[in-house]
A and B are shown apart, each in its own frame.
Chain A
């Protein structure tokens, strides 16, 4: 049976180191399996968050050889095995321990987004929508809140601009509300002034890493940028609105 070396980040935000572990491989093995094998056979103190092992809960986000990935979806046989496989926690958020990070900032941000506002709030009638009206927003509902997009976005990752940008995951949320056929709220001023849509320079890394293959940049962020432009950056449209 062949083995592979995992070089795993150990520690927290204040002190850390890499440790190498040799793990026996099995067919179809993913990085999370290897982490579990380390926990079971070599070092039970290694911390890792996971739930479904089916790429559906969004808990096991990490970085494998420097690329943001779900650990339960990163197959060992797709990685070069002649060198150690480097496993690190997502970089944008503070490390609690080893591969576990504190992503609570995302939940705080989510609370600031105005929820769906229906024209007739009190109505008990069931909402009726046609397929063509929900085609677009169904894509956004696939989000599993793994925050890999938040991790890779250079505005949050390198600029650490959590103070001015909500990040791609929340742009997806905004898009699902703004394009909703029954929603009546206008979140464009908030998007521009507080959520920081203008800081995104559409370099598409969020789209590249999204395990749900949501076209975050093309289908959520850019259409939102266009909607913000309608209101703030289109002098001719403004003229017509005044009339």
Chain B
């Protein structure tokens, strides 16, 4: 038997011996990378629609579109498409700035992302049983600005609309000057919508609204139906973290793909035309 340091458990930040810091670090790196890329693309205000090209201060039909080599392939960052000619101090305002707040507020107030960034960016707590920034004055989501998180359902309503907008984009991507076709770009946009739908319909607010708020499921036929819907939302909700990350990568990849096609890095392979 021997007495050893540390003298008391109070004096140390954590007694954990595993690499608890890896997960918050990875979260910071991935989210920062995404934010940097999304900010760059938002302000780039170019290479978002394969059908058009920016020539001498105006949008024109691109040569690849006129040749029937690409369809109406639109980046999700710039969807729904609206072309504006607004300038502030000589700079064109990107329409993406007006679109971004919707998906951004959805992800910022998402219960899963809240966990991810409260842990990694705020250190509250950085990992379980690791002392972080939480102090005696802690109030959490009771106070401004965090109390706003309670409005998450409103961000969900907007995100819900985006599923339809982006699905419409998948259809439009098949529209060529000389008919219809399916390209790799179409599949990339489709994958993006599928991942986003998995994320959106696994939302806790949706799960609540669709049936979670009911107490007695057997009490009426309507409630029985709600139970079925709640079960389905729960299936996705169990995988919410997975969809949160894959859909984040999915949307960045879809944008990058469109950007590369638009900027001529490679041609969008067309599988069938009809």
Interface residues of A (CB under 8 A from B): 7, 9, 11, 16-21, 42-43, 63, 65-68, 80, 83-84, 86, 88-89, 91, 129-130, 132-133, 152, 154-155, 157-161, 164, 178-183, 196, 198-205, 208-209, 217-218, 222-223, 225-230, 232-234
Give the nearest-CB partner of B157 in chain A: A236
Give the nearest-CB partner of A233 in chain B: B150
Given contacts A67-B129, A133-B216, A154-B134, contact A196 B7 (CB under 8 A): no
Give every chain B residue within 8 A of A17 (Cβ-Cβ): 3, 7-8
Give the nearest-CB partner of A165 in chain B: B140
Given contacts A161-B136, A202-B114, A226-B204, contact A67 B218 (CB under 8 A): no
- How would you classify the secondary structure of chain A's contact residues: helix, strand, loop or mixed? mixed
Interface residues of B (CB under 8 A from A): 1-9, 14-18, 111, 114-115, 118-119, 124-125, 128-132, 134-142, 146-147, 150-153, 204-205, 207-209, 212-213, 215-219, 224, 227, 237-238
CB distance A227 to B15 under 8 Å?
A: no
CB distance B17 to A199 under 8 Å?
A: no
For the A-B complex, the count of residue pairs with Cβ-Cβ distances under 8 Å equals 170
CB distance A66 to B217 under 8 Å?
A: no
Give every chain A residue within 8 A of B217 (Cβ-Cβ): 130, 132-133, 181
Given contacts A67-B129, A132-B217, A154-B125, contact A201 B141 (CB under 8 A): yes
* Interchain CB contact (< 8 A) of A152 among B129, B147, B151: B129
CB distance B138 to A19 under 8 Å?
A: no
Q: How far is the CA of A91 from the CA of B204 in the complex (A)?
A: 31
Give every chain A residue within 8 A of B115 (Cβ-Cβ): 201-204, 217
Give the nearest-CB partner of A158 in chain B: B134
Give the nearest-CB partner of A237 in chain B: B153
Q: How far is the CA of A222 from the CA of B115 in the complex (A)?
A: 12
CB distance B218 to A181 under 8 Å?
A: yes
CB distance A227 to B213 under 8 Å?
A: yes
Taking the closest CB of chain B, its distance from the CB of A98, in whole angstroms, is: 12
Q: How far is the CA of A88 from the CA of B216 in the complex (A)?
A: 44
Give every chain A residue within 8 A of B146 (Cβ-Cβ): 201
* Interchain CB contact (< 8 A) of A198 among B3, B134, B142, B219: B142
Give every chain B residue within 8 A of A232 (Cβ-Cβ): 150
